Amino acid sequence: MGGDLGPRCIVPACVACLAEFPSLHLVLVGQTSVLESLLAEHPAVDRSRLEIEPASEVIDMDERPSQALRAKPDSSMRVALELVRSGRADACVSSGNSGALMALSRYLLKTLPGIDRPAMISAVPTQRGFSYLLDLGANVDCSAEHLYQFAVMGAVAAQALGIGNPRVALLNIGTEDIKGNQQVKLAATLLQKAPGINYTGFIEGDGVYRGDADVVVCDGFVGNIFLKSSEGLAAMIAGRAQALFSQSLSSRLVGFLASPFLRRLHNELAPERHNGASLLGLQGIVVKSHGASDQQAFQSALRLAFTEVRENLPQKLHGRLESLLL
């Protein structure tokens, strides 16, 4: 029920994903009357693979996590996470309040042994393909040990999702050893001694886009600003390009000739194609979709959750973390 667009976006995204993945089953959690009225617009949907779990309360986007945790036991977010805890669902996907999702996930699902805090991780497009960036906003203040745990989780997750011997780097204001705050320097020392982690050193923002690392680690304050700035830059460049190609007859002709390449570039770099941040480190799969997600973006988050279920990511993490964590 959460997010800027709520079920008006989420319901058609779910219907589209059911058509895309024949083995997928979905549970829509929320106010039954609202969900049923939206599903009525899709009479062809296979209701044997789609059910509704009632939840009477909704967590507002500006609500404090403590309030959501204590005062709304029947919120759609909490009920969805309880389905994962009970085993009735394999994953939870939400566009709702990020702080509330993190607090409820930690309370209901708990973290994997050796992990203090979950971290949000997502793919960022680069010149070489994409890199995994974490944390994206779940943990604003982080110690060196937290950054070390994020790096270990990111490396294991990247391997589980198909990257052999992933290169791990710490996002910093320079690549020299003397640069950065104390937490980043201490985390670098820990990673240099870590067996089984391909730590490559510090990386700057431009290095992320060059694809100089497969896993890039930072605290949630830096990561969230980096991600939102990247999304804003992509939107600005797209808008500027569209305006330039509309200025005159000749520019419109050039734009027409370039349109296949521009569409391909947009499809590769559009933020909605990379939407979905996993809460890594939980004893269950939780994917945070952007609060402003449209239908295509929410479908991307559902695809990510489906992939993590198929790859059994929490179990793979649990199996490898014990030997890597301090």
Domain ranges of the chain: 121-272+312-326
Mean pLDDT to the nearest integer, 278-290 = 92
- The proportion of the chain whose per-residue pLDDT surpasses 90, expressed as a percent, equals 52
Mean pLDDT to the nearest integer, 237-248 = 76
pLDDT of residue 270: 56
Q: Amino acid identity, residue 97?
A: N
- CA atoms of 187 and 144, how far apart (whole Å): 4
Between 234 and 180, the more confident residue is: 180
- The proportion of the chain whose per-residue pLDDT surpasses 70, expressed as a percent, equals 91
Residue whose entry in the numeric block shows the structure tokens 């667009």: 5
Closest of 157, 182, 138 to residue 324, by C-alpha: 157
243 pLDDT more than 60 = yes
User: Using CB atoms within 10 A of its CB, is residue 276 exposed (0-12), middle (13-18) or buried (19+)?
Assistant: buried
Mean pLDDT to the nearest integer, 216-223 = 92
Secondary structure element (H or E) that encloses residue 169, with its range = strand 167-171
Residue 276 CA to its chain's centroid (Å): 3
Q: Provide the token pair at 230.
A: 């990247």
Q: Provide the token pair at 49.
A: 């693979």
pLDDT of residue 234: 74
Which residues are CB-neighbours of 240 under 8 A, at least 6 positions away? none
Mean pLDDT to the nearest integer, 112-133 = 88
Ranges 36-45, 265-274, 305-314: which has the least confidence: 265-274
Highest-confidence range of 61-70, 102-111, 308-317, by mean pLDDT? 102-111
pLDDT-derived band of residue 79, with 50, 70 and 90 as boundaries? very high
Closest of 137, 104, 107, 105 to residue 119, by C-alpha: 137
Q: Assess contact for 123 and 130: CB atoms under 8 A.
A: yes
pLDDT of residue 203: 95
- CA atoms of 289 and 298, how far apart (whole Å): 6
- CA atoms of 18 and 29, how far apart (whole Å): 16
pTM of the model: 0.83
pLDDT of residue 266: 55
Q: Assess contact for 115 and 321: CB atoms under 8 A.
A: yes
184 pLDDT more than 90 = yes
Phi, psi of 277 (to 5 degrees): -120, 125
Ranges 96-105, 229-238, 310-319: which has the least confidence: 229-238
- Please, what is the average pLDDT of the chain? 87
pLDDT of residue 318: 78
124 pLDDT more than 90 = no
Q: Which long-range contacts (CB under 8 A, 24 or more apart) does 303-308 make?
A: 303/17, 303/20, 303/276, 304/276, 304/278, 305/91, 305/92, 305/93, 305/276, 306/17, 306/21, 306/24, 306/91, 307/161, 308/91, 308/278
pLDDT of residue 238: 74
Which CATH homologous superfamily contains domain 121-272+312-326? Isopropylmalate Dehydrogenase (3.40.718.10)
pLDDT-derived band of residue 274, with 50, 70 and 90 as boundaries? low
Mean pLDDT to the nearest integer, 12-30 = 95
Closest of 11, 211, 215, 234 to residue 126, by C-alpha: 211
pLDDT of residue 268: 56
pLDDT-derived band of residue 4, with 50, 70 and 90 as boundaries? confident
Sheet arrangement for strand 91-94: 91-94, 285-288, 277-280, 119-126, 129-134, 215-217, 167-171, 198-203
Q: Which residues pair with 288 in a beta bridge?
A: 94, 277
Question: Rounded to the nearest 5 degrees, what angle is found at the Cα of 110, between the Cα atoms of 286 and 28?
Answer: 35
Q: Assess contact for 122 and 278: CB atoms under 8 A.
A: yes
